[in-house]
Structure 1
Amino acid sequence: MTELASGLAQPVFTRSYGQGSRCVLGVHCSLAHSGAWRGLASVLDPQVTLSSFDMLSHGRSPDWDGDGLLQLRNAEAGLALIEAENLAKDGPIDLIGHSFGATVAFAMAQMQPELVRSLVMVEPVFFSLATADGNADPQALEQLRREHKIVRETYLAGDVEQATRLFNRAWGAGHPKWHDLPESARDAMVRSFPAVMACDTQVYEDMLGVLTPEGLARVTMPCLLIDGGKSQPIMHEVIRALAARLPDVTCRRIDSAGHMLPITHPAETAALLQGFWPEVVPAPAEV
């Protein structure tokens, strides 16, 4: 793990897995860190080199200083990593993001589309799409609003640990349970949670503007959208709405998985990526 500071308002810590010829950059979900890609990278090894960074307020990166929009600050960090490590020296790279990290990857693809060969978004939390006119599942939207209201009210009341626990219950893997997690893991999530709450305007209102017609027009590379069959119903609405707005998109679902599918189902996720990236797995030799 190394520190990346050049050109950034705040440094971030980075790491990479594998030494394969296909260059991939991953952006992890909220309450996690770049190590979340370890399982997926091990399945894809040795075809892929997967680079990642700890988002601000996560992992070994410093707490976000509160300036600007966190979505943008993390996108700038990801682009700085591509430049610092010369990841695109042989051509555009593949981006993959999970949850809030998928919204960051989406912003990166818009900011410098010439660097991106393909974009994979795993359960991107663009809730502003699900609240737009034409939502096909009002019950899913009501569940999202109800659960988020409880989390936010608990957080604003000053019980950050309980708010983090409720959030993790709604979006985490479900196991191990909160009290069965190591104290260090619980502390790390509680530390990250204020930054998560600060991102409401980016996921519920699209404050950064990545879903505007102008932003969407810059995303012309092939996109893969993945969701879990056991995830919150609102995610299926988000995937449907986002797919309708992209020109070159493939949608896939892992029926047995929930929101944390890159971590809980690395083999199944890798199989979807290998199908999307046909050159990762060489074609069988002709007989």
Structure 2
Amino acid sequence: MDYHSRQYGSGGRQVLAIHCTLAHSGAWRGMADAMGTMMDDGLTINAYDMPSHGKSPDWNGEGDLHDLVTAWGHDMLSEPMDVIGHSFGATVALRLAAEAPERVRSLTLIEPVAFAFVAADDPGKVEEYRLRNLDFDAAMQAGDRMEAARAFNRGWGNGTPWDEIPEQTRQYMADRIHFVAGSAPAVQRDSIGLLKPGVLDVIKCPVLLMEGDASDGTIAAANAAIARRIPQAQRVVLEGAGHMAPITHPERVASHIQQFLDAV
């Protein structure tokens, strides 16, 4: 299956960026613009649209969704690259680093929705998350995609009230909301096996974990769980930022990533 990708910059140092659910590769534009100095000095950010997102073809519901997104990531990861992932994209980035450590120069995970890690270390946090999302589950079971998108956006959006979001954007999210359910086996139940003993031990590259202090507490628990398994990981907390920090606070996200990449 062909997929759509885009580049920011044209330098020799290659970065692979993997966006979050219900976004597209254009979500990295603000961060890329804020990293102007690095882009001028020879950085290229490569980003692809996940299935059913942006200009990539729709996921047909067959096979494992995380496998498909990861396969596209492997295809993009043609040489040692700095890998950045946001939300669901961060779980893909983590998997890429575990499966192809020789091709991952550094790893940045922004707000990873690694709920299976939380379930393993702090199950109470996962139960709190489940209770907060009962309306989303009910809407999905009822087949009300628009209501499900509204509920999902309330918990994982950028804080814009649903009624103030352009109708075209609301429809875009509703049309792709099945992606959330499709990601559940990997994100919630670790169907991809990242929690198996030794799987993450192969990740020896520098690792940066980012979270917003205004984000869902499950994310902080996820980063803590990942950090326990990757000793060299460093954590950064963005004051006043939520789950969509790369879009709402691109300058601060870019600043931390720029410092991190400079040290790699």
For the criterion TM > 0.5, the same-fold answer is yes
1:224 pairs with one of 187, 202, 208: 208
Q: Secondary structure at the match of 1:58?
A: coil
Inter-partner Cα distance in structure 2 for 1:113 and 1:67 = 28
Deviation per CA, 1:210-229: give whole Å up to 9, x if none: 22223212222111100000
Matches within 5 A, 1:162-177: 162-175=147-160, 177=161
Compared CA separation, residues 123 and 57, structure 1 to 2 (3 A): same
**Are 1:145 and 2:130 matched, yes or no?**
yes
Cα distance, 1:67 vs structure 2: 2.4
SS at match of 1:51: strand
Instruction: Say whether 1:98 aligns with 2:83.
Output: no
> Does 2:141 align with 1:160?
no
SS at 1:12's partner residue? coil
Counterpart in 2 of 1:235? 219
The whole-number CA distance in structure 2 between the counterparts of 1:198 and 1:149 is: 17
Say if 1:76 and 1:108, in contact at 8 Å, map to a contact too.
Answer: no
Local SS of the residue matching 1:55? coil
Partner Cα distance (2:195, 2:251) in 1: 31
- For structure 1, the 5+ residue unaligned runs are 1-9, 281-287
User: How many Å separate the matches in 1 of 2:190 and 2:135?
Assistant: 22
Match for residue 254 of structure 2?
270
- Pick 1 or 2: higher relative contact order, CA cutoff 8 A, min separation 6: 2
- In structure 2, what residue type is equivalent to 1:57? S
More helix by share: 2
1:77 partner letter: W
- Residues 207-260 of structure 1 deviation map (CA, whole Å, 9 limit, x = unaligned): 111222232122221111000000011111111111001132111110110011
Percent of counterpart pairs with the same letter?
Answer: 40
State the TM-score, normalizing by the size of structure 1.
0.86
1:78 alignment partner AA: G
Are the counterparts in 2 of residues 22 and 49 from structure 1 also a CA contact under 8 Å?
yes
In structure 1, the residue matched to 2:66 is 71
One-letter identity of the residue aligned with 1:231: S
Partner AA of 1:143 in structure 2: E
- Whether the aligned pair in 2 keeps the contact of 1:18 and 1:42 (CA below 8 Å) is no
The SS at the match of 2:66 is helix
Partner of 1:259: 243
Q: 2:96 aligns with which of 96, 108, 112?
A: 108
Higher alpha-carbon deviation: 159-168 or 217-226: 217-226
Compute the displacement of 1:133 (Å): 4.3
Partner of 1:61: 56
1:110 to partner: Cα distance: 1.7
Indicate conservation of the 8 Å contact 1:152/1:197, yes or no.
no
Counterpart residue number, 1:191: 175
- Matched pairs, number: 260
In the superposition, relative to structure 1, how do residues 249 and 162 fare at CA in structure 2: closer, same or farther (>3 Å)? Answer: same
Greater Rg by CA: 1
Q: Which runs of 5+ in 2 are unaligned?
A: none
Q: In structure 2, how many angstroms separate the alpha carbons of the residues matched to 1:180 and 1:207?
A: 37
